[in-house]
Structure 1
Amino acid sequence: MQAKFRPLAIAAAIVLVQAALVAFFAWPSLRTAPRDLPVVVTGPAGAAVAAELRQKVPGGFEITTVADPAAADRALRDREAYAAFVTGPTGVTLHVASAASPAVASLLTQQAQGAVVDVVPVDADDPRGSGLASAFLPIVLTSMVAGIVLTLTVASRTGRLAGVAAYATLAGLAGAWVLHQGYDILPGDYLASAGALALLALAVSATLAGLGTALGQAGLGVGALLVFLVGNPLSAVASAPELLPQPWGAIGQLLPPGAGATLLRSAAYFDGAGGAAAAWTLTAWAAVGLLLLAAPMRRRPAATPEPADETPALAPADA
């Protein structure tokens, strides 16, 4: 390629990447709708409400019938459902857990025809959950940066392991402090939230550092692709996995950002309920990254030079 066309080619390539990122990040939000969203119904008219939901939004809800309103609220507190339709003599009362997903609660509340009860409300200082969602991306990005910088600047595996462990611990404590004490938008136990954020930071930074150690710059690229390009838009931190097109919502929960968002909500609002799968997912990512960091790479044996042929050359025969 001629030198004078190189700047134009670089600019065009960057614009193509930008367009792909914009399309991929905007796509989940534009396709938001209930898809097998777990809800419960109860009361004498519960079956009729369930039938109406299935008719209005085919495939939108995964409906379970429970015994009474207490069981319905228990399902919300255990993160087994996002909402409950409690029927009684005066009609249908909608019970929601906005802490699990402000977007789901808002969506169902707008369509409710009766009273609405918020069983597990989101923090009053962050009523739409936008503060928590906005603060989540910087934690993921700085964890990526930590893994990349440690890979590029620290030569020894032991040093990288120590750096990842120190970063994850401090990131969890500092991130939770800002959200708890600084902005007061995250309720619940401080150490539980700090532990959730530390596990997320460890999963991301160890994955980047491990892949970078094992595969070099290509590994860093793969890690960034998984965590940022794929994991972040599918994390559903501002909505819910069941609002994203499937199977992408489920896939997002298998990646660190999605699992981290779920675990943080469980730790902050639900005393850990519904967070076991997310915790195991993050632990698996962290374990793989740490193993890649700790396991010595097998070096290829140096090529052994072939011995020189010491047979004396024959003199040409006389004619």
Structure 2
Amino acid sequence: MNVIQRAVAIGAGAALLQALMLIAFAWPATNIAPRDLPLAVAGPQAAMVEQRLTGQNPDAFEVTTVADAAAAREAIADREVYGAIVTGNGAPQLLIATGASPAVAQQLTQIGQQMSGAPAAQIEDVVPGDPDDPRGMGFGTMALPLVMAGIAGGVLLSLLIPTATGRIVGALTFGIAGGLLSMLVTQTWLSIVPGSYLALSAVAGLVSFAVAGTVSGLATVIGRAGIGVAALTMLLIGNPFSAATSAPELLPRPWGTVGQLLPPGAAASLIRSVAFFDGAGALKPLLVLLAWAALALVLLGIGVIRDSRRTDPEPATSEAVPVAA
């Protein structure tokens, strides 16, 4: 392949990558709609509300009937549902949780207003978002910098650090320092995420290590092609399907579920749980991030074993010495 042919191939490949990025980032945003969205109903007209919700779109909501408004608030605080409609005398009361998803809260508000038949329904934000980020735009943009920084850290470690042991040390250093610094900026200067600084720093550090470690680990095991595989997985699949600006149940199936199995989506869910819900619903995304971190350690551990084999001296061979008669 001469220079011109190589240039044409690279240009065509870059154009294909551009098209894939447009699809990955634009398609989920243009197909936002509730899909089995967990929602609670309570009160004497609960059955009627459920029938109305499921009658319009049977697959839109996963409706759970609870005893009363207190039970509905508890279900929201435990991250079992995104909101609730409580019926009784007069217009229904709508319970939302902006901290769980501003996009879902907005959709539920519209539904509550339609059901009440009034311009303003009775709305209670059980778990509000940060007052400095009422629409959640700042929170939604956190996933991309964390992922991009993790990819960059993994690439730099892969290209500049020749040993797997050094890459492990670098990834751990990046995770600790990156977690502390990113949350320092997020909670002080930007002021968009409430909650425990140390707990959130630990989450951000785990994400940073998982991404950087996976990138450098794959590069260690399969060469520089591993950088591309890891980076494209995190960037083209993980980030647009992370649901950081919406909710997994608003994304096309099965991509909402797939996104939660990758570090960006798990990170967004875990940070929400820690920041707004006192850790409720944190187990699943925490396990996902720990699994990715473990994968990174396994890949880098394989590199450590390879390095040790390369540096071990060859065993000396003893030659027979003739013995004089």
The answer to whether the Cα contact below 8 Å between 1:100 and 1:265 also exists between their aligned partners in 2 is yes
Instruction: Give the structure with higher Rg (CA).
Output: 1
What RMSD, in angstroms, separates the aligned Cα atoms of the two structures? 1.6
* Structure-2 residue corresponding to 1:126: 133
Identify if the C-alpha distance between structure 1 residues 218 and 6 changes in structure 2 by more than 3 Å, giving closer, same or farther: closer
AA aligned to 1:66 is V
The answer to whether the Cα contact below 8 Å between 2:143 and 2:267 also exists between their aligned partners in 1 is no
Note the C-alpha offset of 1:136.
2.3
Which runs of no fewer than 5 residues in structure 2 stay unpaired?
114-120, 311-325
Give per-residue Cα distances to partners, 1:82-107, cap 9 Å, x unaligned.
01011111221110001000010011
The answer to whether the Cα contact below 8 Å between 1:168 and 1:202 also exists between their aligned partners in 2 is yes
Which segments of structure 1 move beyond 6 Å, counting only runs of 4 or more? none
* Structure-2 residue corresponding to 1:273: 280
Identity of matched residues, %: 48
Identify if the C-alpha distance between structure 1 residues 112 and 189 changes in structure 2 by more than 3 Å, giving closer, same or farther: same
- Aligned to 2:152, the other structure's residue is in SS state helix
Matched positions, count: 300
Structure 1 position 96 matched with structure 2 position 96: yes
Whole-Å Cα distance in 2 between the matches of residues 228 and 55 of structure 1?
A: 38
Structure 1 position 221 matched with structure 2 position 228: yes
Structure 1 position 137 matched with structure 2 position 138: no
Give per-residue Cα distances to partners, 1:279-308, cap 9 Å, x unaligned.
0000000001111112313979xxxxxxxx
Note the C-alpha offset of 1:2.
5.4
Which runs of no fewer than 5 residues in structure 1 stay unpaired?
301-319
TM-score, normalisation: structure 2: 0.89
The answer to whether the Cα contact below 8 Å between 1:40 and 1:66 also exists between their aligned partners in 2 is yes
* Structure-2 residue corresponding to 1:303: none
AA aligned to 1:140 is V
* Structure-2 residue corresponding to 1:72: 72
Give per-residue Cα distances to partners, 1:205-233, cap 9 Å, x unaligned.
11111111111112112111221111111
- Equivalent of 2:180 in 164, 173, 177: 173
The answer to whether the Cα contact below 8 Å between 1:82 and 1:100 also exists between their aligned partners in 2 is yes
- 1:39-50 alignment runs, 5 A limit: 39-50=39-50
Note the C-alpha offset of 1:168.
0.3
- 1:184-199 alignment runs, 5 A limit: 184-199=191-206
- Aligned to 2:306, the other structure's residue is in SS state coil
- Equivalent of 1:297 in 287, 300, 306: 306
* Structure-2 residue corresponding to 1:10: 10
Give per-residue Cα distances to partners, 1:252-289, cap 9 Å, x unaligned.
10011000100011111111111110000000000011
Q: After the TM superposition, which of the residue ranges 1-10 and 191-200 deviates more from structure 2?
A: 1-10
Note the C-alpha offset of 1:10.
3.1
Note the C-alpha offset of 1:8.
4.4
Whole-Å Cα distance in 1 between the matches of residues 210 and 9 of structure 2?
A: 36
* Structure-2 residue corresponding to 1:282: 289
* Structure-2 residue corresponding to 1:155: 162
Whole-Å Cα distance in 1 between the matches of residues 225 and 6 of structure 2?
A: 23
The answer to whether the Cα contact below 8 Å between 2:211 and 2:263 also exists between their aligned partners in 1 is yes
Whole-Å Cα distance in 1 between the matches of residues 209 and 203 of structure 2?
A: 10
TM-score, normalisation: structure 1: 0.90
Whole-Å Cα distance in 1 between the matches of residues 9 and 165 of structure 2?
A: 41
- Aligned to 1:229, the other structure's residue is in SS state helix
